[in-house]
Amino acid sequence: MNRGRFITLEGGEGVGKSTQLRALAAALEARGIDVVATREPGGSAGAEAIRSLLMEGNDDRWDARSEALLFAAARADHVARTIRPALERGAWVLCDRFVDSSRAYQGGGGGITDADLLALHGIGSQGLLPDRTFLLTLDTAEAARRLAVRDAGGVDRMGSKPADYQARLAARFAEIAAAEPDRWRTIDARRPADAVTAAIIAELESWL
């Protein structure tokens, strides 16, 4: 059986990754593709347990190094128990965030070196990388507006990071995408949701 495809959606807070993950999963399933839609942190029992540690509490609950270790541990379980088995049976795995979020959040946002983050990924997840990564981009004002609507009931730790952190985050995502053009595609998320989904599908047509 052929290995499935591994697709990830990346970007800052409020860009619409969760919305696009659901829409992309539906579009692929309509074409008869076996799809596993998942997220990080989370996606397996162990990783979901770690997620509650990472996403709850005050912004200063963990420093960048502690966060990096927790994310790597959650990802290792996610890869071993959910992602690799699905790929091996030929399914397409769609994931809301993966190691590139650690490279941006704990790297660009928290100051951990890319080499250290990739070393953790090599140990925990055997260096697994997506076949294609989509970076959803949005200007800071629109992202803030969407976050205010989404999180009217309260923001999580990542959504509550200060503006300067969010700016470093966006810059780091852009740097990573520019350095790895074969894997990354940048998608303008200012457009209506269905237009964003169509743009993502267009970038996957050669595999469909």
pTM (2 decimals)?
A: 0.89
Q: CA-to-CA distance for 62 and 41, rounded, in angstroms?
A: 15
The pLDDT value recorded for residue 56 is 85
For tokens 């997840």, what's the residue? Answer: 125
In the structure, what pLDDT confidence band is assigned to residue 156 with cuts at 50, 70 and 90?
A: low
Would 176 be classed as within a structural domain? yes
pLDDT at 161 over 90: no
Would 72 be classed as within a structural domain? yes
Q: Is the link from the previous residue into 41 a cis peptide, with omega within 30 of 0?
A: yes
Mean pLDDT for the stretch of residues 89-97: 98
Q: What is the largest CA-CA distance in the chain?
A: 47
Q: CA-to-CA distance for 69 and 77, rounded, in angstroms?
A: 13
Would 35 be classed as within a structural domain? yes
Would 119 be classed as within a structural domain? yes
Sheet (strand 92-96) strand order: 35-39, 92-96, 6-10, 132-137, 184-188
Give residue 177's Cα distance to chain centre. 13
Domain range for 119? 6-207
Domain count, the chain: 1
In the structure, what pLDDT confidence band is assigned to residue 152 with cuts at 50, 70 and 90?
A: low
- Give the pLDDT confidence of 44-71 residue by residue, as tens digits: 999 999 999 998 887 778 888 999 999 9
In the structure, what pLDDT confidence band is assigned to residue 185 with cuts at 50, 70 and 90?
A: very high
DSSP code per residue over 148-166: HHHTTT---TTTT--HHHH
Q: Is the link from the previous residue into 192 a cis peptide, with omega within 30 of 0?
A: no
In the structure, what pLDDT confidence band is assigned to residue 170 with cuts at 50, 70 and 90?
A: confident
Would 109 be classed as within a structural domain? yes
Would 1 be classed as within a structural domain? no
pLDDT at 22 over 70: yes
CATH code of residue 12:
3.40.50.300
The pLDDT value recorded for residue 196 is 97
